[in-house]
Amino acid sequence: MGDAGDGLVMECRDLHKAFGDIVAVDGVGFTISDGETYGLLGPNGAGKTTSISMICGLLEADAGEVFVDGERMTTRSVEPKRAVGYVPQDIAIYPDLTARENLTFFGRLYGMGGDGLKSRVSEVLELIGLAERADDKADDFSGGMKRRLNIGIGLLHKPHLLVLDEPTVGVDPQSRNAILESVERLSIEGMGVLYTTHYMEEAERLCDRVGIIDSGKIVAEGTRRELVDLIGSQDRVRVVASGDLKSAAEAVDGLPSVVEVGEREGGLDLIVGGAASNLTEILQKTTGAGAVVTSVDVDEPDLESVFLHLTGRARRD
C-alpha cells in the first residue's frame, strides 16, 4: 500500500502515542481517498488532535506509519508536508501581522510566490470573508474572524489533503455555513479532507465516511448509513426533564428495551429498541424517580445516537 495512483491521499496504520502514562492514541488506522471527506468523531480527550498531529508530521509516533500521496510522513519529512494543509484546533496566527501578511507568509513557506501568491491570497480572503479587513492587524479581529483566518491559512496552498481540527468552534452560524460550504466545494474539486468536530450535524452534512474514536481507538467506521445500521431498529429518544435526572437515568437503565442512557443538561438521551411500544414505560420510570418531564422527542437514529451508543457518552459541546 501507499503507492501513488491507488486513489488514496492519506493512509495511516496502527498509530500509537503515549504521553507518560496516558495512552492518547492506541492503534488508530484509516484511509482517505481523493476527494473524500473523512470525519473523526470522538469525545474530549479521545485522541483526535494527537492522531492528526502524527498524520501531519508534527508529532513523532511511538509506532505506526503515515503515508500522504504515497510518501512516508514523519516529523522530518519535507515533501509530503507540501501536500497537506493543516488547520490547528487552537487559533494559530500572528496577531501583529495583517490577515494578508499572515496568508502571504505561510504561502511563501509552502513555496508560493509572485503574482500567483498575490491572487491566491485575495481569493482566499474573499472565501473567508475577510477581504474588507485584509490589511487590518489580526489582533483586532473578532474571535470568529480569527477562526476564519486560521482556516484560510490551511487551504491557501491548495493542498491535496486538508486537515481541519474542530474548525468551527466559536464561529457564528452564517460563517460556519460559509466554512462548511467552502469545504464541500474543495472536496468536490478533489481535495481530501480530514475533519474532526463535535458537531454531529456538520459530520452528517460533510463527511463521506466517519470514524468514531474513543480512548485512542477507532471503535466504528463507515458511511453514515453503515454506522446507523449498526444500531439496527433502535430509536433515539430525547426526554426533556428537570428534577432528579441522575435517579431517573438509573431507573430507566434497568429497562430491557433501553440500550443506552446518557444524562445531559436538561434531560436524558436514550437509545431504545422500539420506542413506540416502550415509551409509556420509560416515562413512568422517569417520573417515578423524581424527574418532571416536559417533552419527549423520538427520532430515527442518527450519528448522534451511534456516537452515544458506541462511546456511552453524550457529546459535550
Ligand X SMILES: Nc1ncnc2c1ncn2[C@@H]1O[C@H](COP(=O)(O)OP(=O)(O)OP(=O)(O)O)[C@@H](O)[C@H]1O
Binding site for another protein (CB under 8 A): 53, 56-60, 75-76, 78-79, 81-82, 84, 86, 88, 90-97, 101, 105-106, 108-111, 153
Q: Choose the contact partner of 240 out of another protein, ligand X, Mg ion, none; CB within 5 to 8 A by kind.
A: none
The owner of cell 501578511 is: 101
Query: In what order do the strands lie in the sheet containing 234-243?
Result: 258-264, 267-273, 234-243, 291-299
For the chain, how long is the longest CA-to-CA vector? 71
Integer Cα distance of 40 and 62 in angstroms: 21
User: Which one of 44-52, 118-126, 222-230, 263-271 is the stretch in contact with ligand X (CB under 6 A)?
Assistant: 44-52
* Sequence-ordered alpha helix ranges (H) in 129-197: 143-155, 173-188
Q: Where are the beta strands (DSSP E) in the chain?
A: 8-19, 22-33, 37-41, 63-68, 71-72, 84-87, 161-165, 192-197, 209-214, 217-222, 234-243, 258-264, 267-273, 291-299
Neighbours of 18 (CB within 10 A): 14
Residue among 234, 213, 208 nearest 305 (CA)? 234
Does 228 bind ligand X (CB under 6 A)? Our answer is no
| 157 three-class SS | coil
| 67 three-class SS | strand
Q: Least CB distance from residue 90 to Mg ion, whole Å?
A: 9
Q: Least CB distance from residue 47 to Mg ion, whole Å?
A: 8
Q: Choose the contact partner of 22 out of ligand X, Mg ion, another protein, none; CB within 5 to 8 A by kind.
A: ligand X
Q: Least CB distance from residue 60 to another protein, whole Å?
A: 7
Q: Least CB distance from residue 195 to ligand X, whole Å?
A: 13
Does 150 bind Mg ion (CB under 5 A)? Our answer is no
Residue count of the chain: 317
Q: Which of 4, 22, 63, 298 binds ligand X (CB under 6 A)?
A: 22
Q: Least CB distance from residue 157 to another protein, whole Å?
A: 9
| Tally of CA atoms within 13 A in the half-sphere of 214 that contains its CB | 14
User: Which one of 38-46, 119-127, 169-177, 242-250 is the stretch in contact with ligand X (CB under 6 A)?
Assistant: 38-46
Does 314 bind ligand X (CB under 6 A)? Our answer is no
Cell triple for 279 = 415509551
Q: Least CB distance from residue 172 to Mg ion, whole Å?
A: 21
Q: Are 87 and 80 in contact, with CB atoms under 8 Å apart?
A: no
Residue 98 is given by DSSP the state B
Q: Which of 47, 167, 211, 301 binds ligand X (CB under 6 A)?
A: 47
Closer residue to another protein, CB minimum distance, 120 or 205: 120
Q: Which of 49, 53, 98, 234 binds Mg ion (CB under 5 A)?
A: 49
Sequence-distant (≥ 6) Cβ neighbours of residue 263 within 8 angstroms: 245, 246, 249, 269, 314
Q: Least CB distance from residue 48 to ligand X, whole Å?
A: 3
Closer residue to ligand X, CB minimum distance, 62 or 250: 62
Q: Which of 12, 28, 32, 46 binds ligand X (CB under 6 A)?
A: 46
Does 45 bind ligand X (CB under 6 A)? Our answer is yes
Closer residue to Mg ion, CB minimum distance, 69 or 166: 166
Q: Which residues bind Mg ion (CB under 5 A)?
A: 48-49, 89
